[in-house]
């Protein structure tokens, strides 16, 4: 695809912003926030946390939000996606709502609105309250009910301040990390339990949407929408060989369509269901569950794009004595000559953002969508410090390259309303802590000092001009 080198202007009222989560940025604060699964993980495996940094302080947004929101404004934000901590609002996961937590979130959201920044509120970002995890987390239907009560409370307490709502960020993450790849608590390897977690998460999302619609019926003057945020990697076969193509179909089913189809269409892909049945992996569910999922689909879709997924047909037989994994049907493929971020270990493939948007346009009714995460993590950014500022031209190039393809997708009819970068200020990453930095603003961990990077200045101009001069793809990563 040949991209035009010109000024790329984006639609009026385009959402320029960034995203992070409560667990990664707020710190503990003084509201009596309950413990989460990350405290449980810290207790069990402190050696896994990079440089021994847990979530007690992180970026201390809880105490610094007034000044930080002004930094958002300085870096061109007209919107920002945060999450509301379930464990802060309900320290035990259920029971009485914490009044101090409500006061904090209302003050913070009011500050954001006053600064002209639209709050996008996500309701779950990998931060299960400890008491809910103790009874099984998303494996337990009682936790689904407690989550829906938490969501309904948020709609009631903050519905006048939040612009758009999202039930989950990357619901595939807890399945991958907690039940397949051993990087999230409870750190078990059991795909069938993971399938149950996935199903109950989809059901919880649908029931939260149902509660949202009931809330909107009481307040019909509010124009907020509710959606879900999915991490989607366009899947590319190694070749056009039918066996490689079939491998890509399976990878796509397990890692993309499994959450995308029920969230947008209200149904699960038949081939996925058949495969789960074949291996005795079907989740426990009722017909009413399927009805609730079918009748409560998302109104808006967040698209997190970081890297493509490349696969090939398996070259070795599966060991039938090993635990079932989706990779029984395919193998990963490393494309020769790929662009690569060695810090995070991900391929950089900008056209993937275009292909993802086209897929949503053609196969999901062109539902209203936005890029809810895109970003580049780099370690030891102090190497690029000049006169007290990180000169992160690589991040500017990364953003420009992706935006050039996103602009082409919009030109080709994709219903894309915005672009949110991961992230605003360098924030804590799951277990990796502050190893890789993603922010438009650098954070000195010792002093908590914030300094706008060169990319933050670029982002301010990007938002101000609602576009940028594209001079060709940046290649020096």
CA–CA gap between residue 415 and residue 364 (Å, rounded) = 11
pLDDT tens-digit readout, 404-443: 999 999 999 999 999 999 999 999 999 899 999 999 999 9
Q: Which neighbouring-strand residues pair with 421?
A: 18
Q: For 411-472, give the DSSP string.
A: HTT--EEEEEES-SB---BTTTBTSEE--SEEE-TTT--EEE-HHHHHHHHHHHHTEEE--S
For residue 372, give the nearest of 228, 159, 160 by alpha carbon. 228
CA–CA gap between residue 179 and residue 199 (Å, rounded) = 13
- Name the catalytic one among 26, 347, 373, 381: 373
Q: Which neighbouring-strand residues pair with 340?
A: 347
Distant-in-sequence, close-in-space partners of 223: CB < 8 Å, separation ≥ 6: none
170 is annotated as an active-site residue: yes
As a whole number, mean pLDDT of residues 167-179 equals 97
Q: Which residue has the tokens 């990563």?
A: 477
Question: Taking the CB of residue 92, how many other CB atoms lie within 10 A of it?
Answer: 15
The pLDDT value recorded for residue 40 is 96
pLDDT tens-digit readout, 140-166: 999 999 999 999 999 999 999 999 999
The two beta strands, 385-386 and 339-341, are unpaired
Q: Is the pLDDT of residue 219 over 90?
A: no
For residue 196, give the nearest of 152, 143, 249 by alpha carbon. 143
CA–CA gap between residue 145 and residue 147 (Å, rounded) = 5
| Residue 357: its H or E element | helix 351-363
Mean pLDDT in the chain?
96
Q: Top-level CATH class of 7-469?
A: alpha beta
The pLDDT value recorded for residue 342 is 80
CA–CA gap between residue 243 and residue 143 (Å, rounded) = 41
Q: Is the pLDDT of residue 223 over 90?
A: no
Strands (E), 35-114: 79-83
As a whole number, mean pLDDT of residues 337-356 equals 90
CA–CA gap between residue 133 and residue 123 (Å, rounded) = 17
As a whole number, mean pLDDT of residues 192-201 equals 98
Q: Is the pLDDT of residue 222 over 80?
A: no
Q: Would you place residue 467 in the very low, low, confident or very high pLDDT band (cuts 50, 70, 90)? A: very high
The pLDDT value recorded for residue 180 is 97
The pLDDT value recorded for residue 428 is 96
Distance of CA 377 to the CA centre of its chain: 15
- Name the catalytic one among 130, 170, 347, 350: 170
The pLDDT value recorded for residue 448 is 96
The pLDDT value recorded for residue 431 is 87
77's tokens? 């934000």
CA–CA gap between residue 283 and residue 196 (Å, rounded) = 5
Length of the chain: 477
As a whole number, mean pLDDT of residues 70-84 equals 98
Q: Which neighbouring-strand residues pair with 120?
A: 81, 164
Q: Would you place residue 476 in the very low, low, confident or very high pLDDT band (cuts 50, 70, 90)? A: confident
Q: Is the pLDDT of residue 220 over 80?
A: no
Contact assessment for residue 126 and residue 132, using Cβ atoms and an 8 Å cutoff: no
444's tokens? 């000195």
Q: Is the pLDDT of residue 276 over 90?
A: yes
Contact assessment for residue 73 and residue 116, using Cβ atoms and an 8 Å cutoff: yes
Domain residue spans in the chain?
A: 7-469
Q: What angle do CA 339, 348, 444 make, to 5 degrees?
A: 110
Q: Is the pLDDT of residue 205 over 90?
A: yes
99's tokens? 């009044």
The two beta strands, 79-83 and 15-19, are parallel
pLDDT tens-digit readout, 87-126: 999 999 999 999 999 999 999 999 999 999 999 999 999 9
pLDDT tens-digit readout, 433-452: 999 999 999 999 999 999 99
The pLDDT value recorded for residue 57 is 96
CA–CA gap between residue 16 and residue 10 (Å, rounded) = 10
3-class DSSP state for residue 275?
helix
Q: Which neighbouring-strand residues pair with 434?
A: none
For residue 338, give the nearest of 329, 347, 330 by alpha carbon. 347
Q: Would you place residue 216 in the very low, low, confident or very high pLDDT band (cuts 50, 70, 90)? A: confident
Q: Would you place residue 475 in the very low, low, confident or very high pLDDT band (cuts 50, 70, 90)? A: confident
How distant, in Å, are the alpha carbons of 50, 77, 168, 419, 463 from that of 13? 40, 12, 25, 12, 10
Q: Which residue has the tokens 């790929």?
A: 338
């Amino acid at each position: 695809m040949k991209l035009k080198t010109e000024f790329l202007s984006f639609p009026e009222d385009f959402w320029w912003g960034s995203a992070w989560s409560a667990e990664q940025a707020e710190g503990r604060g003084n509201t009596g926030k309950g413990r989460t699964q990350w405290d449980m993980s810290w207790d069990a495996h402190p050696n896994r946390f990079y440089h021994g940094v847990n979530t007690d302080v992180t970026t201390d947004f809880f105490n610094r939000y007034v000044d930080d929101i002004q930094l958002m404004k300085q870096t061109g934000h007209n919107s920002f996606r945060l999450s509301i901590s379930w464990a802060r609002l309900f320290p035990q996961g259920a029971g009485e709502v914490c009044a101090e937590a409500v006061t904090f979130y209302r003050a913070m959201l009011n500050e954001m609105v006053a600064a002209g920044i639209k709050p996008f509120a996500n309701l779950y970002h990998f931060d299960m309250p400890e008491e809910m995890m103790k009874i099984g987390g998303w494996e337990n239907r009682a936790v689904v009910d407690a989550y829906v009560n938490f969501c309904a409370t948020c709609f009631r307490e903050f519905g006048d301040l939040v612009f758009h709502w999202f039930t989950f960020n990357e619901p595939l993450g807890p399945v991958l990390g907690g039940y397949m790849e051993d990087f999230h608590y409870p750190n078990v390897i059991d795909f069938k339990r993971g399938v149950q977690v996935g199903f109950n998460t989809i059901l919880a999302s649908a029931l939260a949407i149902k509660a949202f619609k009931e809330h909107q019926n009481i307040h019909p003057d509010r124009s907020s929408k509710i959606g879900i945020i999915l991490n989607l990697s366009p899947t590319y076969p190694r070749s056009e060989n039918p066996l490689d193509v079939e491998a890509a179909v399976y990878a796509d089913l397990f890692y993309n369509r499994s959450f995308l189809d029920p969230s947008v269409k209200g149904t699960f892909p038949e081939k996925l269901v058949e495969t789960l049945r074949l291996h005795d992996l079907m989740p426990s569910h009722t017909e009413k569950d399927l009805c609730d999922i079918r009748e409560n689909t998302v109104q808006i879709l967040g698209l997190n794009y970081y890297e493509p997924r490349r696969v090939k047909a398996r070259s070795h037989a599966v060991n039938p004595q090993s635990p079932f994994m989706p990779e029984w049907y395919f193998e990963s493929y490393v494309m020769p000559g790929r662009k690569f971020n060695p810090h995070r270990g991900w391929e950089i493939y900008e056209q993937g953002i275009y292909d993802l948007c086209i897929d949503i346009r053609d196969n999901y009714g062109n539902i209203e969508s936005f890029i809810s995460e895109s970003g580049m993590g780099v370690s030891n950014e102090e190497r690029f410090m000049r006169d007290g500022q990180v000169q992160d031209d690589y991040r500017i190039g990364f953003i420009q390259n992706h935006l050039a393809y996103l602009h082409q997708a919009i030109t080709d009819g994709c219903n894309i309303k915005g672009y949110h970068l991961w992230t605003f200020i360098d924030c804590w990453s799951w277990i990796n802590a502050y190893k890789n930095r993603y922010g438009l603003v650098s954070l000195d961990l010792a002093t908590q000092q914030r300094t706008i990077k060169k990319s933050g200045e670029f982002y301010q101009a990007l938002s101000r001009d609602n576009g940028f001069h594209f001079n060709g793809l940046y290649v020096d990563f």
